[in-house]
A and B are shown apart, each in its own frame.
Chain A
Amino acid sequence: EAGVAQSPRYKIIEKRQSVAFWCNPISGHATLYWYQQILGQGPKLLIQFQNNGVVDDSQLPKDRFSAERLKGVDSTLKIQPAKLEDSAVYLCASSPRGDRGAPQHFGDGTRLSIL
């Protein structure tokens, strides 16, 4: 089966600019996650979708980050405006279901550098 697809792989922008990332989960996976991985740390959840509804966005900095999952398939994550501390790898993951035992399948991530 095809894996989780993310684009772009790399993005370099200046602070205060906007950026968007795209994720296409594994076909049929109802649950989609966005994580932020800062260099030297483990990934941290930003937002979880179940189909096209938000399950958990408690750690999403809503003043600058937004995400949507229209039609319950693809998802986009946007940062506007970007800050230096947003430099990180943004990982998308999907799972056939959202319970605690379900394994998550990760994409290769988008590496964002803020100048």
Chain B
Amino acid sequence: GNSVTQMEGPVTLSEEAFLTINCTYTATGYPSLFWYVQYPGEGLQLLLKATKADDKGSNKGFEATYRKETTSFHLEKGSVQVSDSAVYFCALSHGGSQGNLIFGKGTKLSVKP
């Protein structure tokens, strides 16, 4: 079946460090891929998405490229800020008119000043 695997957290970085959170997926066909972010005490927010191979999603300095050959959608940011501290979820959506999401377990990021 369809599934998403993310790197285990927590991840602790200093401000201005480079961030990579790995995400790989298993799915038949051509899923859409998403990164959602959950700030403390808040609901999930869409961070970025890509709907086909080689697409790059980007938002707020974050980016991720849909790599079909490696079934990956790694999240990157060149210089993290304290305000980026949150839990990040990789997700896929696959299947015609059923747009329901399949999520990874989430990766908690803490950025220290």
Contact = CB atoms under 8 A, between A and B. Distances in A.
B51 A101 contact: yes
Interface string B82-113: 00000001010111111111111110000000
Given A106-B45, A108-B43, A55 B106 contact: no
Contacts of B46: 103-105
Contacts of A102: 93, 99
Interface in A65-85: none
Nearest to B104: A42
Nearest to B89: A42
A104 B101 CA distance: 9
A44 B32 CA distance: 17
Contacts of B42: 108
Contacts of B105: 40-42
B44 interface: yes
Contacts of B93: 100-102
Nearest to A45: B100
B34 interface: yes
A99 B97 contact: yes
B96 A99 contact: yes
B16 to A, nearest CB: 29
Nearest to A108: B43
A25 interface: no
Nearest to A95: B99
B98 A44 contact: no
Contact of B43 (A33, A42, A107): A107
Given A41-B106, A91-B44, A106-B45, A56 B32 contact: no
Interface in A9-53: 31, 33, 35, 40-45, 48, 50
Please name the 4 residue pairs, one residue from A and one from B, whose CB atoms are nearest each other, closest first. A42-B103, A106-B44, A108-B43, A100-B93
Given A43-B89, A100-B96, 9 more contacts: A42-B89, A42-B105, A43-B44, A44-B103, A56-B98, A91-B43, A99-B99, A101-B49, A103-B46
8 contacts: A42-B89, A42-B105, A56-B100, A99-B96, A101-B51, A103-B46, A104-B101, A106-B44
